[in-house]
Structure 1
Amino acid sequence: MSIENAAARVIPQSAAKHKPMSGWFLVCVVVAICIWGGNWPVMKFGSHYIPPLWFAASRFLSAAVLSFAIAFALGKLRLPTRAEWPIVAGVGILQMGLFTALVTGALHFVMPGRASLIAYATSIWVVPGAALVLKQKLNAQQSLATVCSYAGMAVIVLPALLHADLHSMIGYLMLGVASLSWAMNILQIKLTPGVKLDFDLLPWQTLVAALPLCVLALVFEGAPVFLAESHSWYVIAYTGPLATALTFLIVLQMTQRLSPVTVSVCMLGVPVVGLTLSSLIFGETLSPDLLLGMGLLCMGLLLPALPSVGWRRFAFKG
C-alpha cells in the first residue's frame, strides 16, 4: 500500500477540518510554549560549559530517569507494543535526540533568539508535507495563519542570512536540519493515528533519545566532567525534567490531536518567547524587522486557537 493510500485511509477529509482547542488544553499549550521559549536562553547559558552532545544526552537521560520513576510509581510502566515502537523510535530519534543535538550545537555559532525561530519553523516543511503526503487541504483560517507565519519568518530570518558569515551559516544549516527532523516526525505521527501518545510511552521515547546520545558523547567529548560544576545541575534540571518530561507530553498530545499545520504554527510561539527573553538576558537587539516578524508570528499563533465558526464559508475548495 502506498503512503498516499495509507494517508487517505487514516486521514479522512472530515478529520482534516480544523477544530478549536479547548480552554484547558489551550492553557497547557501556552505553558509548554513558555517553558520551551525559556529553554533557549538556558541552553545558551549552559552551552558555555557543557559540550553539545553531553548537553542533549543529559537532558534526555534525566528526563528518562524521572519518567521511568513516575511511570513505575503510577503503575503505568510497560513495554511498548509492536505497533507503538516505530512511533517511540521516531519521537526519540527525530524529535528528541537529533533535533536537540543539532540545536544545542548550533548555539555555539548563533544567538538563541533568531536561532529558535529557524529551529521551530517546521511549517516550512509541514505545510507542503501535509498537502503532498497526507493530502490535507487548508481552510481559510489555517491558510491565513500559515501566510502570517511564513511572512514573519521571512522578515526575521532573511536579514540574518544575508549578512551571515561562514561561522553563522554553519549554525543556521544545523537549525534547518533540526527543523526538518521534527517536521518528519509530525507527519509520521499523523500517519499513525492508532497509537495514542500517552505518558506510558514517554519513558521509552526519552530513553531512545538518551542512549545513542550518551554513546556519541562519550566517544567524541569524553567523560562528563562538567557534572562536577554545581550550576550544571540547575541547567539539567530545567532542560530535562521540566522542558522535556513535562513539556514533550503536552506537545506530543498537540501533535496527535491537532492538524500538522496548526501544530507547526503554534510552535512558532516558542521563538517569540525565546526572542523576547534573549533580548532581555543577552541583549539581542529587538530591531524593527524582529518586532514586525514577531507581530506576524503572534497573528499566526492566535488564529488556530480561534473558533472556526464563520470561517467555513471561506474554506478553500480542492
Structure 2
Amino acid sequence: MAIKDILIIIAVTAIWGLNFSVTKFGMEYVPPLFLNALRFTVVALMAFVIPRPSVDWRIFAGIGVFIGVIKFSLVFVGIKLGLGAGLSSVVIQGQVFFTIILAFLLYQERVQIYQVIGLLIGFAGLFVMSFDDGGDFNLLGFALTVLGSLMWGIANMFFRRTGSTEAVAVIVWASVVALIPLWLLSAFFDGPDVIMQSFQNFNLQVIFVVLFASIFSTVFAYSMWGKMLSKYPAADVTPFALLIPVSGLLGGVFIVNETISVIAMIGIIIIMVGLAVSILGGRVRRYLGS
C-alpha cells in the first residue's frame, strides 16, 4: 500500500474517531435522528454541482441506505441512549470483522489464518464489553451499535464495487438517496414539535457539529474510504480502523468528559489486540519465515 494512501486512511480514522464526541456534543441541543438528517441534507445539496456518478444507481443507493439511513440512525440512537462516544468508536469497529467475512463470502477475497485469529479475538472483546454495567455504557445502545457495524460492513461491499468512479460523487448521491428516509424517521420518532424546537435551538455549536459531520466525516472521510476499498483488498484497508478508537476515546474523555469502566477498558484492549493481529500478523509471519 502506498505511503500516501496510508496517510489518507490515518486522517480518515482520526476524523471518524473525533466525530463520535462531536456528535454527542451536538445532541445536547438537537435529537439524534434530526441531527443525522441535517448531516446528509448538507451533503446532498452538493448534488446540484456534482454530476451523478457513472455507476449502477443501486450501488450508491445501497451505500445511502446502509450507511446513511440505517447505520448512523442506529449509532446515533445508541449514543443518545447512553453508550459513551468513546466506547461507540470502539464497538463500531465490528465493521472490520464483518467486512472481512463478507468480502470472503461474496468476493472470495483470501483470508489469512492471522486475520481469522484477529477476528476471533476482536469478537471476544465485544463479548466482554456486553457485560459492562458501569461507566458510560448502555446495553441496548451497545447492541444497536454492533448492528450498526454490520450495516457498515454491508455498505463496504457496495463501496468495493465503485471502482475508479469519483469517490466524492458517490457519497454525495448516496446522501440524496438517504435524504427522504432520514427525514421521515426523524418526523416519526422525534415528532414535528421536537423538530420545530430543534430548529429554534440552532446555534453556532450545532452549525459546527453539522458541518464537521457532513463535510469532513462524510464527504471527505467516506469518499476516501470508498476509494481505498476499491483500490485494495478489504482485509488490507479495514484493519486500519484500529486507529479510530484512539481518537474516539481521547475525544470522549477530553471533549465530553466521559468515563470508562474497567470491564469496558478490558474489552477495548482485547478488541485492539485483535485488530493489531489483523494488521501486523502478515508482517510478523513474513519476519519469522525469513
> What's the TM-score once normalised by structure 1's chain length?
0.76
> Is the CA contact (8 Å cut-off) linking 1:121 and 1:264 kept in structure 2?
no
The 5 Å alignment of 1:254-273 reads 254-273=228-247
Give distance in 1, aligned partners of 2:174 and 2:28: 27
In the TM superposition, what are the counterparts of 1:168-317 in structure 2 within 5 Å?
A: 168-190=138-160, 192=161, 196-221=165-190, 222=192, 223-228=195-200, 229-230=202-203, 231-281=205-255, 282-285=257-260, 287=262, 289=266, 292-293=269-270, 296=273, 299-300=276-277, 302-303=279-280, 310=286
Aligned mate of 1:90, from 56, 59, 62: 62
Contact preservation (8 Å) 1:84, 1:195: no
Mapped partners of 1:127, 1:104: distance in 2: 24
Helix, strand or coil at the partner of 2:51: coil
Change (3 A) 1:112 1:89: same
Deviations 1:167-210 (A, max 9, x none): 922112211211111111222444x3657253233321111122
Cα offset for 1:113?
A: 1.8
Answer whether contact 1:122 1:183 (CA < 8 A) is retained.
Answer: yes
Which of 121, 125, 130 lines up with 1:151 in the alignment?
A: 121
Tell me what 2:2 maps to. Answer: 22
What is the aligned length?
279
Q: In the alignment, residue 200 of structure 1 is paired with which amino acid?
A: A
Quote the residue 1:6 is aligned against.
none
Partner of residue 16, structure 1: none
Task: Give 3-state SS (helix, strand or coil) of 1:267's partner.
Answer: helix
- The equivalent of 1:68 in structure 2 is 47
Counterpart in the other structure of 1:12: none
Match of 1:133 among 106, 109, 129: 106
Give the aligned residue type for 1:86. Answer: R
Taking the aligned partners of 2:207 and 2:154, their CA distance within structure 1 comes to 32
Q: 2:288 and 2:105 mapped to 1: Cα distance?
A: 23
Moved more, 29-38 or 228-237: 228-237
1:312 offset after TM fit, Å?
Answer: 12
Q: 1:302 to 1:62 in 2, by over 3 A?
A: same
What CA distance in whole angstroms lies between the structure 2 residues aligned with 1:301 and 1:272? 17
Residue 91 and residue 99 in structure 1: after superposition, are their counterparts in 2 closer, same or farther (change >3 A)? same
Whole-angstrom CA distance in 2 between matches of 1:60 and 1:295: 30
Which 5+ residue runs of structure 1 have no aligned equivalent?
A: 1-20
Deviation at 1:105, TM superposition (A): 0.5
Find out whether 1:37 has 2:20 as its counterpart.
no
> Displacement of 1:149 after TM fit?
5.8
Label 1:170 to 1:286 Cα distance change in 2 as closer, same or farther (>3 A). Answer: closer
Percent sequence identity over matched residues?
A: 19
- Mapped to 1, the partners of 2:243 and 2:116 lie a distance apart of 13
1: CA distance, partners of 2:108 / 2:3: 29
What's the TM-score, normalizing by structure 2? 0.83
- Structure with higher Rg: it is 1
Farther off after superposition, 211-220 or 25-34: 211-220
Q: In the alignment, which residue of structure 2 is the partner of 1:5?
A: none
Distance 1:197 1:312 in 2: 40
Q: CA RMSD in A?
A: 3.0
Q: Deviations over 1:231-259 (max 9, x none)?
A: 21121111111211111111111221121
> In the alignment, does 2:94 pair up with 1:121?
yes
Question: Quick check: 2:59–2:162 contact (8 Å CA) kept in 1?
Answer: no
Q: 2: CA distance between counterparts of 1:208 and 1:252?
A: 17
* Structure 2 unpaired stretches of 5+: none
In proportion to residue count, which structure has more helix? 2
CA distance in 2, matches of 1:115, 1:137: 29
Q: Which residue of 2 aligns with 1:10?
A: none
